[in-house]
Amino acid sequence: MKNPHEAFGLQGRTVAVTGAGGGIGRAVACELARGGADVLVHTGSNQAGIQEVAQHIRQYQRRAEIVVSDLSSPGAQDDLVEYAWQWGNGIDAWINIAGVDVLTGPAAHLSFEEKLDRLWQVDVTATIRISRLIGNKMRERFSQPGRAVIVNMGWDQAPWGMAGDSGEMFAAVKGAVMAFTRSLAKSLAPEVRVNCLAPGWIKTAWGEQASEPWQTRAEDESLLNRWGTPEDVAAAVRFLTSPEASFITDQIVEINGGLRR
């Protein structure tokens, strides 16, 4: 019988995680290192946060590499893929988590149009271009079907919609990523598996400061009556990148404790 601590083992694999400076990205990078992978971690600007993540990865005796870049430009997207590929002598799994925070901090005060433009540049265009670039490299490099993996990030309520500015923006943006993921999975099969996670109410920075009505709503809309955690999402990513998930591709996996619709 397999030792439970060896489940979802990623020993000998190299992964890249964008948007790893905090929140879900941080949890994912650390969980993949715990599983045995060497991890390249990217952040747009969170220098202190990404240094902490790299230190955490090295505590598992795994290699960690840091890249800080603004993924809103095609040049930066190209450079990140090339650098990661050279650093890892190939990349086994690529996790696209980088996104623009328009709910907290300075961007929260931008207009709807400005927020949407920033989200589209990074959450959609960067995800699409990076996935295509790394996916084609993976397909040429790995002959074993299903070894190489791409995981994108959607939103569980994108197919159903949510009223308000944020709901409209994120439904459009994450809905695009989810639709693209399904098409890319077909384009890159069988060499590369491509899946998308659709998290629900996950307690990241916005959730920590959300008002009481939002706290109650998040708990009430989950069949498990609680917020999700970044670690809940990270566990799913670890499984999807592992050999145990070798027959899973072209899927949108909801991480929401069951959504009350």
Domains of the chain from N-terminus onward: 10-255 (3.40.50.720)
Quote the mean pLDDT of the chain: 92
Distance CA 80, CA 78 (A): 6
CA gap 121, 139 in Å, rounded: 26
**Mean pLDDT, rounded, for 208-214:** 78
Joined together, the tokens standing for residue 237 give 């990513």
Q: What is the DSSP letter of 160?
A: T
Q: Which one, of 20, 17, 16, 32, lies nearest residue 86 by Cα?
A: 16
d(CA 204, CA 73): 26
Phi-psi region of 203 (alpha: psi -120 to 50; beta: other; left: phi over 0): beta
Backbone angles phi, psi at 68, to 5 degrees: -115, 115
Q: What is the C-alpha to C-alpha distance for residues 141 and 261, in angstroms, rounded to an integer?
A: 43
Q: Is 255 a residue whose pLDDT tops 80?
A: yes
* Percent of the chain predicted with pLDDT > 90: 76
Confidence of residue 4 (pLDDT cuts 50, 70, 90): very low
More confident: 150 or 143: 150
Whether 65 contacts 90, CB under 8 Å:
no
Residue 146 φ then ψ, to 5°: 85, 0
Average pLDDT in the 33-52 region?
96
pLDDT bracket for residue 139 (50, 70, 90): very high
**pLDDT of residue 132 exceeding 70:** yes
Least reliable range by pLDDT among 34-43, 61-70, 99-108, 181-190: 99-108
Question: Lowest-pLDDT range, 204-208, 231-235, 253-257?
Answer: 204-208
Tell me the three state secondary structure of residue 259. strand
Over residues 228-246, mean pLDDT: 96
Angle (nearest 5°) at CA 166 between 164 and 170: 125
Quote the pLDDT of residue 8.
63
Question: Is the pLDDT assigned to residue 3 strictly greater than 50?
Answer: no
Question: Above 80 in pLDDT, residue 36?
Answer: yes
Kindly state the average pLDDT of the residues 9-25.
95
Q: Contacts by 166-172 with C-beta closer than 8 Å and gap 24+? A: 166/102, 166/103, 169/102, 169/112, 169/115, 169/116, 169/119, 170/119, 172/116
Average pLDDT over residues 236-247: 96
Average pLDDT over residues 233-247: 96
Q: Which ranges of the chain would DSSP assign to H, the alpha helix?
A: 23-34, 47-59, 74-88, 112-119, 127-141, 165-188, 205-209, 212-220, 230-241
Whole-angstrom Cα distance, residue 218 to residue 195? 25
Query: In this predicted model, which residue has the larger pLDDT, 251 or 221?
Result: 251
Closest CA to 43 of 64, 62, 70, 61: 70
Structure tokens at 127: 């995800």
- pLDDT value, residue 6: 52
CA dihedral 200, 202, 207, 211 (to 10 degrees): 40
* Interval 193-218 mean pLDDT: 84
